[in-house]
Amino acid sequence: MLYKNNFRDHVLLDPIREGADQLKIVSGYATHTMASWHITEIASQFQTPIKIHLIVGMCQFDGISVSVHEGFKNLVAENRTNQSTLTCQYVTEGVPVHSKLYLWEKNRRPFRAYMGSANYTQTAFSPSRSELLQDCDADEAAAYYDEIEPRTTYCNHAEIEDKVILKPTHRVLSAEESPLISLRGSGITSVTLSLLTRSDDVGFGSGINWGHRRNGTRREPNQAYIHLPAEISRTGFFPLDKKHFSVLTDDSKQLILRVEQQNNKAITTPLNNSLIGEYFRRRIGVANGAFVTKQDLLNYGRTDVTFYKLDDEQFFMDFSV
């Protein structure tokens, strides 16, 4: 059967309902934001995690951005309890691979397979792009995957950066001066979001203190989100519909974020809501898991954070003082 639209769930999720437990992917191009979205979506719909094995085929020929490469390395390295695991390999020997193949296995045996034009990216699996996928023979797909796999190197291999072409995350960030100087003079759009409530203070059970509840409800105390006002969410500055986006911070950290909650009011770290809270606590110098006060933010030197939009899935976040 030929699938022309709305095939995201059919290809990436529905086989799990039939007992599939492992997905092997060959994709000419891929993004860590897609892998992050996929892992999060599986966790939200299914109790049992799966194993995802990704081969990216064009890194030696067309290169891969530093942001995407670091994102894959972070996803592979993270120990996420009760979430699907990811391995990521790049084709580093022989001819580049432009194919797109999705092979599901069940009990270590080929189960279902799809081939076509859709790369393993959020854009390819969204209504904004016209792509095709079709069923193919699972055993033949397994043989094709096994033919390519020996020509790959893991993304976190010690010498991987000598084997592929790493491209700058964005031309502005590769300039000789500091990223903030380049961004402020580049014309790239930005928004500044407050870490305080409308009453000009921090709150309980919201914002940077999302994990702290007055009613005694037990939550991980680092859980946090950045409040996104409706007038900004409606502008399209940030991707919506639970799409994941990558953020490089002014202190050279990388976060994967998404907009969620009712009326798109919160920016979170979807794989673990505590990551963003841990990040801000470390920056302002308070204890891990501590309740953050307005005075803590004032002592640090600012009560807001600025996002610069590099493209639809890449942002720069400034929390410097």
pLDDT in tens, 82-108: 899 999 999 999 999 999 999 999 999
Confidence of residue 70 (pLDDT cuts 50, 70, 90): very high
- Quote the pLDDT of residue 79: 73
**The residue type at 145:** Y
CB-CB contact of 49 with 84 (8 Å): yes
- The tens digit of pLDDT for each residue in 37-56 reads 999 999 999 999 999 999 99
pLDDT digits (tens, 9 = 90+) for 291-308: 999 999 999 999 999 999
User: DSSP labels for 14-59?
Assistant: HHHHTT--EEEEEESSB-HHHHHHHHHHHHHH-SS--EEEEEE-ST
Amino acid at site 12? L
User: Distances in Å between the alpha carbon of 305 and those of 95, 187, 226?
Assistant: 44, 18, 9
Q: How confident is the model at residue 177 (pLDDT cuts 50, 70, 90)?
A: low
CATH architecture for the domain at 2-167:
2-Layer Sandwich (3.30)
Mean pLDDT of the chain: 93
How many other C-beta atoms can be found within 10 angstroms of the C-beta atom of residue 268?
Answer: 22
**Can you tell me the mean pLDDT for 178-184?**
76
Domain ranges of the chain: 2-167, 173-318
Say yes or no to pLDDT of 135 above 70: yes
Can you name the CATH fold of 173-318? At1g16640 B3 domain (2.40.330)
Contact in structure between 254 and 247 (CB atoms under 8 Å): yes
Other C-beta atoms closer than 10 Å to the C-beta of 229 total: 13
